[in-house]
Amino acid sequence: MNGQPSLSQGGMSPDGKINPVGILKPKLDPQDKNVLCSAICYCSGTPNISQDGKHLKQACVAQRLGELDEILQRRSPYKPEVSYDMTKRPPRPILDSQTGNGPHGWIPGWINKYWNDDPEHPPFKPGKGMIRRPDVVIVKDASKPPTQDNIKQVVEMKFPPDPPKVEQAQDYANIAGNKNRVVEMTSTECDCNQQSQQSNVPVEQLGWAAAIAGGMMFILTRGRSPRPMTPAY
């Protein structure tokens, strides 16, 4: 030991320059990462297919998480593709008027019906970031709307070769209320070959959402429901 602080502590290098403190990127809790990786791995192998033959992996993840939320009667903490009105402070989630805490299913219709009725809204300009839709919002309390005070983390998923978008990341930080609550998750972070947990029920028969829902119910009920086997992907 030479008595010098380490570089990770913002120490001084031999040439006399101050080194910046190391910055750790926000990460997901292991439980959250397991669920999201399960969806990512499933959709990497069986993505949605567009009419022109493109693999829509992100759309597949959103659909699977949406199905999970339905099976859990809107009690899943993983809310896919919630749109936010970025002209509000803090940004306001655009929700289905019937469910109260689920995402609105048709944003163009919502804009046409409600945007101009709000005197605080500026004229709507498509493509100007007035509405943002994160891939996944993880909420603290699944029984409440995904407003800023109920957001645990905002997750942006990337399937290579999708590049990061700085302006979008800043908007997500505004949605979450803190940049440290925004996580960029790439599909390469998931070990889709892991075999640590096997299911006795074929996923092909149940579907991903039904297969994973049992494990989620065990977590949400704090162990009061029987622990199921969780499939691996």
The domain segmentation of the chain, as residue ranges, is: 26-220
More confident residue, 14 or 146: 146
> Looking at the predicted structure, is the pLDDT value of residue 72 above 50?
yes
Rounded Cα gap, residues 115 and 108, in angstroms: 10
In this structure, of 40-49, 52-61, 177-186, 215-224, the range with the lowest mean pLDDT score is 215-224
Chain position carrying tokens 């297919």: 49
More confident residue, 190 or 7: 190
pTM assigned to the model:
0.76
> Looking at the predicted structure, is the pLDDT value of residue 230 above 90?
no
* Confidence grade of residue 215 (pLDDT, cut at 50, 70, 90): low
Which tokens hold the place of 131?
Answer: 């509405």
DSSP 1-42: --SPPPGGGT-B-TTSPBPPPP-PPP---HHHHHHHHHHHHH
Consecutive H or E run containing 147? none
Handedness of CA 98, 106, 149, 182 (dihedral sign): positive
Residue 145 burial by Cβ neighbours in a 10 Å radius (0-12, 13-18, 19+): middle
In this prediction, residue 132 carries a pLDDT of 97
Residue 172 burial by Cβ neighbours in a 10 Å radius (0-12, 13-18, 19+): buried
In this prediction, residue 210 carries a pLDDT of 62
In this prediction, residue 24 carries a pLDDT of 67
> Looking at the predicted structure, is the pLDDT value of residue 137 above 60?
yes
Cα 58 to its chain centre, rounded Å, is 11
